[in-house]
Amino acid sequence: MADAHDLIVIGGNAGGLSAAVFARRSGLDRVTVLEPGTTLALPGVAGEFGLDVSYGETVVSVELQDDDLVVTTHRQCYRSRAVLVALRSPIEDWAPDIPTVTGERVHIDEIPSPANDVDVLVVGHTDQAVELTVRLADLGAGVVLAAGGMNPRRLSPVGAQLLNDLERERRATLLYSSRPQQIADVDGFPMAYFNDRRTPDLQFDHVVFSSGRRAVGPADVGASDAALGAGRLWFLGQDDETPEGAPSAPGASIGRDLVTAVFPDAAIPAPEPSAWSRHEVPGVTEELRQEHYNATITHFEPTHSDLWVLRVRPDHGSVSHLPGQYASLGLGYWEERVDDAIEANIDERWDKLVRRSYSISHRIFDEHGYLADEVGSDELEFYIVLVPPTPDNVPGLTPRLALKKPGDRIYLGPKVAGRYTLAPVTDPADTVVFLSTGTGEAPQNAMVTELLRKGHHGPIVSAVSVRQWADLGYLDQHRRLEQRFANYHYVPLPTREPDVPKRYIQDLIAGDVFAADLGITLDPQNTHVFLCGNPAMIGLPEGGDDGDQTFPETVGVVQLLVERGFTLDHRKKRGNIHYEEYW
């Protein structure tokens, strides 16, 4: 046998070729693909990247000799530092999971002959479906790939690249979110019924189903225990089909994983987004956005990198709401994150929306300097903070929202809801106090503006606790309100500024600060208190509405107010403490 290869890849499918290409790009010189058939799944890849390919090679055994792995085929032996088994076998008795006609125009994993100048529908969402689509396009067929359920992150890099090429060169029509529900016979030709609003029913000359595949294991290639124990015999696995005792990775990552583990001195290249990113296949993202998003971000203004004011305009429908209510925003799990965190089960939900409800904020002044009136607006304003990942929680929405800009699309829930409103305030002479933490100030902004715009002449106080001055996104506007309205007072409480005494919301109540500093008495007979934000600040009790209430160990505002004669506002029993918890 000649000198040892760096890597032998058994199987010339898209996953195997991806690993071989990555190894070559990492500086490994001797990379050979052993293909049992007469052609590679994607023949053009070998020439483009300088791969050695040997056809008609059926592997008999893989053994460890000295420090090398020896691959024996029915023709000859190959010595290599590492081996990747990329073969995948058809699943016996596999059949399409939709009603379909049979006959010479419906195929499973087979290319119709002749294939030029015929219209072919390929149904499938894996590398196998991509390989069939590429081969048909190369033969001159008009191809439509119905890839409903496809996860681009699980495609091999070569498969993703070839989809890029097909779409860019317009050699195939790619339906990333659609798959037929039935294949019927109409006048002797297969008709695909999609039964969804995105795709019309279409008739083809042929339909090709991409079947399910199973990962090949050690017994299929005669792998010895010593070879498995070397840690340099890898298997192309997907969907957690990992041969016992051997390293495995999905086709999307096995090249990088294998080379990094087995060849620590290799020059691992950075991914090339145009050719190697498996996070985006052109068309997938845009099609998902078209399907799920129904609104546009019209304004995105960072207070700082982790805190933003944004406005959203829906495509259709009213944005009518009451000050203090909330709406839901959503982005797809397919969108990029500002951090490197990965949610659990992301592969199962990558094409779904992550949604969260946010209180609706309010512009305090319009472009002319008057109090803003959002009743006639076609936008909703939100005040949102970036939530960082922790070991116990990986947030899904705000790390994706952080990368958005005006003009980007987003999901806006169809309904505005919430009973945290100004409905209890019926006397314009009442005292109204708003207490919040962080972005809990959002609904208070809308309420304050509404009260002042409608001529409320009783005292109005808004106090908000934040860490630093920079966390007060509406500070300047509230200061302008104080200058215009003698009955309005804004009390910001930054707790981590060196030149500001640390005070929390509870301290304002316990120390009678409003009475001492503003001359405003919190009298339960004529005062409404609105609380929004951190549940610890609010401090809701457990138990009934009367004497059997149990308050949290950490004293919150509710307990301090109840001790002064205030009562919680419930659906069945109106009170003068109104609240909205933020988590």
Q: pLDDT tens digits for 514-539?
A: 999 999 999 999 999 999 999 999 99
Higher pLDDT, 186 or 257: 186
Q: Tens digits of per-residue pLDDT, 146-157?
A: 988 787 777 888
C-alpha 190/C-alpha 202 separation (Å) is: 9
* Closest listed residue to residue 324, CA positions, set 462, 418, 435: 418
Closest CA to 245 of 126, 91, 88, 85: 85
Nearest Cα neighbor of 296 from 407, 413, 415 is 407
Bridge partners for 568 per DSSP:
577
Residue 97 and residue 123: Cα distance in Å, rounded?
11
Residues 499, 435 share a domain: yes
CATH number of the domain to which 70 belongs? 3.50.50.60
Q: Quick one: pLDDT at residue 278?
A: 37
- Say what the pLDDT of residue 463 is: 98
Q: Is residue 300 part of a domain?
A: yes
Identify the pLDDT of residue 544. 56
CA distances from 570 to 50, 567, 577 (A): 73, 9, 9
pLDDT by residue (tens digit) across 375-385?
668 999 999 99
Regarding whether 544 and 480 lie in a shared domain, the answer is: yes
Q: Is residue 313 part of a domain?
A: yes
d(CA 526, CA 249): 67
Whether residue 284 is contained in a domain is answered as no
What pLDDT is recorded for position 56?
Answer: 93
Q: How confident is the model at residue 244 (pLDDT cuts 50, 70, 90)?
A: low
Q: What is residue 252's predicted lDDT score, i.e. its pLDDT?
A: 61
Determine if residue 565 is left, alpha or beta; phi over 0 gives left, psi from -120 to 50 gives alpha, anything else beta: left
Q: How far is CA 39 from CA 44, 158, 508, in A?
A: 11, 16, 78
Nearest-angstrom CA–CA distance, 530 and 538: 10
- Is 468 a domain residue? yes
Per-residue model confidence (pLDDT) at position 376: 67
Distance CA 313, CA 299 (A): 9
Burial of 498 (0-12, 13-18, 19+ CB in 10 A): exposed
Residue-level pLDDT at 254: 79
Measured over the CA atoms of residue 338, residue 151, residue 138 and residue 116, the dihedral's sign is negative
In a domain, 97, yes or no: no
The residue ranking higher by pLDDT, 366 or 408, is 408
Query: Residue 508 falls within a domain, yes or no?
Result: yes
Beta strand pairing status for 77-85 and 119-123? Answer: unpaired
Q: Is residue 191 located within the same domain as residue 50?
A: no
pLDDT at 276 over 50: no
What pLDDT is recorded for position 346?
A: 80
CATH at residue 492: 3.40.50.80
End position of a domain, from candidates 211, 231, 247: 211
- Per-residue pLDDT tens for 496-505? 999 899 999 9
Which of 90-104, 207-221, 237-251, 442-456 is modeled with the greatest confidence? 442-456
Q: Please, which pLDDT band fits residue 455 given cuts at 50, 70 and 90?
A: very high
**Close Cβ partners of 497 (under 8 Å, ≥ 6 residues apart):** 468, 469
Based on the fold, state whether residues 197 and 115 are members of the same structural domain: yes
Asked whether residue 245 is assigned to any structural domain, the reply reads yes
Mean per-residue pLDDT of the chain: 89
List for the chain the helix, strand, coil content (%; round to 5).
Answer: 25, 30, 50
Residues 82 and 221 in one domain: yes
Q: Which helix (DSSP H) or strand (DSSP E) does residue 582 occupy? A: none
Give the pLDDT confidence score for residue 238 in this predicted structure.
44
pLDDT category at 36 given cuts 50, 70, 90 is very high
What is the per-residue pLDDT for 274?
A: 35
pLDDT at 237 over 80: no
The backbone torsions φ and ψ at residue 500, rounded to the nearest 5 degrees and listed phi first, read -120, 125
My answer on whether 449 and 563 are in the same domain is yes
Residue 455 shares a structural domain with residue 315: no
pLDDT band at 473 (very low <50, low <70, confident <90, very high): very high
Both 445 and 400 in a single domain? no
Residues 356 and 405 reside in one and the same domain: yes
Q: Please, which pLDDT band fits residue 558 given cuts at 50, 70 and 90?
A: very high
Domain count, the chain: 4
> Both 462 and 572 in a single domain?
yes
Angle 19-175-342 (CA atoms, 0-180°, nearest 5)?
50
Higher pLDDT, 89 or 374: 89
CATH number, position 298? 2.40.30.10
Q: What is the pLDDT of residue 160?
A: 82
Q: What percent of the chain has pLDDT over 70?
A: 93
Domain final position from 211, 237, 252 = 211
Domain end call among 383, 412, 441: 412
Question: Is residue 328 classed exposed, middle or buried when 0-12, 13-18 and 19+ CB atoms within 10 A define those classes?
Answer: middle
Output the CA–CA distances (angstroms, integers) from residue 187 to 142, 191, 496, in the order listed.
20, 9, 76
What global pTM score does this model have?
0.70
Using one digit for the tens of pLDDT, what is the confidence trace for 95-148? Answer: 999 999 999 999 999 999 999 999 999 999 988 999 999 999 999 999 999 988
Looking at the fold, whether 470 and 522 belong to one and the same domain comes out as yes
253: domain range? Answer: 5-90+215-270
Angstrom distance (rounded) from CA 263 to CA 285? 34
The answer to whether residue 308 scores a pLDDT higher than 60 is: yes
In 3D space, the residue among 68, 70, 59 whose CA is nearest the CA of residue 34 turns out to be 59
Q: Are residues 468 and 494 in the same domain?
A: yes
pLDDT in tens, 323-339: 999 999 999 998 999 98
Is 76 a domain residue? yes
Residue 551 confidence (pLDDT) above 70: yes
